[in-house]
């Protein structure tokens, strides 16, 4: 499980990696010399237009399989502009100025596997993400929409669940934290295994938060000021293997007793637990409670730091550790292999 997290981006770029093994030519694209075109096997083309200050997506060759237009000044996408690139597998539109998307923007992209729209100005509502906008994306497995909704007038509004329900092949979803639960449309995402949430001052979870995402195996909460749990928050996630929570504030952290969620782990398949920058100092962390609740689970790795990013030791006895435990780390910080 842990290795699958580290290789998530490799999996979604797998076609690109394989094609790069037989590169025959790289140079300026004929349709726009600011972009670099790289020819791979079977005459497919990878197009890189990142960080070129372009304001519109260029007309693409039908043979394009990768398009990177990140870190530019694009504020709109013409209707059906990408339709001709019907072999496209990877589309990176991150770090632009998009505030809306046309309902036909993704028409023809039936093979697309990876789509990044993060770090734009796309608020989570039915006007920006109308029902049907993702319907052409029959093969999409990874969608990133993070760092869009932070400055919304309605930051608590859930992402439109009728819109997301069309992505039946989706495996990984990156979102800004919104409301307290995920709507009924998320129940259609039977293949959704990884959920990465962040970019919010406060996130309160209850026993209904993940009711419609019961197949999750990996949850990452990153860059949130404070998180509040209630008993039962994770109890319905029987397949959950990896839980990672970190905070971006020296004063932030968990504001709920650890025991409120510790009991939930017995109902999951938890293997890796990472609690970073908690508001509880390490010497006062109720590790004995956590240890007792995890004893009958499949836990193999535990990592804990406090809000000062300091590792430490526990002066009190915690009793026998879970028999499956292999790593018990008190570390200063770790890298977030998916979210960053």
Tell me, yes or no, whether 301 lies in a domain: yes
What is the per-residue pLDDT for 338? 41
What is the per-residue pLDDT for 9? 59
Tell me, yes or no, whether 339 lies in a domain: no
Task: Give strand pairing partners of 116.
Answer: 92, 144
pLDDT tier at 235, thresholds 50, 70, 90: very high
Range of the domain at 302: 2-330
**Of the candidates 269, 193, 207, 208, the residue with the CA atom closest to the CA atom of residue 238:** 269
pLDDT at 333 over 90: no
In degrees, rounded to 5, the angle at the alpha carbon of residue 297 between the alpha carbons of residues 270 and 194 is 10
Tell me, yes or no, whether 244 lies in a domain: yes
Q: 334 versus 339: which is more confidently predicted?
A: 334
Mean pLDDT of the chain: 82
Tell me, yes or no, whether 285 lies in a domain: yes
CATH number at residue 140: 3.80.10.10
What mean pLDDT comes out for the span 303-325?
64
How many domains would you assign to the chain?
1
Tell me, yes or no, whether 338 lies in a domain: no
Tell me, yes or no, whether 271 lies in a domain: yes
Tell me, yes or no, whether 42 lies in a domain: yes
pLDDT tier at 282, thresholds 50, 70, 90: low
With contact defined as beta carbons under 8 Å apart, do 281 and 250 qualify? no
What mean pLDDT comes out for the span 161-174?
96
Tell me, yes or no, whether 43 lies in a domain: yes
With contact defined as beta carbons under 8 Å apart, do 82 and 91 qualify? yes
> Which stretches of the chain are DSSP H helices?
2-6, 8-12, 14-19, 161-164, 259-262, 287-294
- Give the Å distances, CA to CA, from 205 to 60, 217, 256, 280: 44, 17, 10, 19
In degrees, rounded to 5, the angle at the alpha carbon of residue 13 between the alpha carbons of residues 212 and 54 is 100
With contact defined as beta carbons under 8 Å apart, do 277 and 305 qualify? yes
pLDDT at 283 over 90: no
What mean pLDDT comes out for the span 289-293?
79
């Amino acid at each position: 499980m842990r290795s699958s997290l580290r290789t998530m981006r490799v999996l979604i770029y797998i076609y690109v990696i394989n094609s790069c093994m037989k590169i025959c030519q790289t140079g300026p694209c004929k349709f726009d010399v600011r972009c670099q075109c790289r020819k791979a096997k079977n005459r497919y083309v990878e197009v890189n237009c990142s960080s070129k200050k372009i304001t519109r997506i260029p007309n693409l060759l039908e043979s394009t399989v990768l398009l990177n237009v990140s870190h530019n000044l694009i504020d709109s996408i013409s209707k059906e502009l990408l339709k001709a690139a019907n072999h496209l597998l990877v589309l990176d539109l991150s770090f632009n100025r998009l505030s809306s998307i046309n309902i036909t923007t993704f028409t023809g992209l039936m093979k697309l596997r990876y789509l990044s729209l993060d770090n734009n100005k796309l608020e989570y509502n039915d006007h920006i993400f109308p029902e049907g906008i993702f319907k052409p994306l029959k093969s999409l497995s990874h969608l990133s929409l993070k760092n869009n909704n932070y400055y919304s007038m309605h930051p608590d509004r859930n992402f439109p669940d009728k819109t997301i329900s069309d992505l039946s092949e989706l495996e990984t979803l990156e979102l800004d934290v919104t409301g307290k639960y995920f709507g009924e449309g998320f129940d259609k995402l039977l293949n959704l295994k990884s959920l990465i949430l962040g970019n919010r001052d406060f996130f309160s979870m209850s026993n209904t938060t993940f009711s419609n995402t019961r197949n999750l195996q990996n949850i990452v909460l990153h860059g949130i000021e404070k998180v509040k749990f209630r008993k039962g928050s994770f109890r319905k996630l029987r397949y959950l293997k990896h839980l990672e929570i970190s905070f971006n504030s020296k004063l932030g952290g968990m504001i709920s007793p650890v025991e409120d969620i510790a009991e939930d782990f017995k109902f999951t398949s938890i293997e890796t637990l990472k609690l970073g920058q908690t508001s509880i100092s390490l010497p006062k962390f109720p590790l004995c409670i956590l240890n007792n609740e995890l004893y009958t689970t499949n836990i193999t790795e535990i990592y804990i730091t406090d809000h000062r990013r300091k590792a430490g030791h526990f002066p009190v006895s915690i009793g026998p550790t879970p028999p499956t435990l292999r790593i018990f780390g008190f570390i200063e910080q770790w890298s977030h292999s998916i979210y960053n």
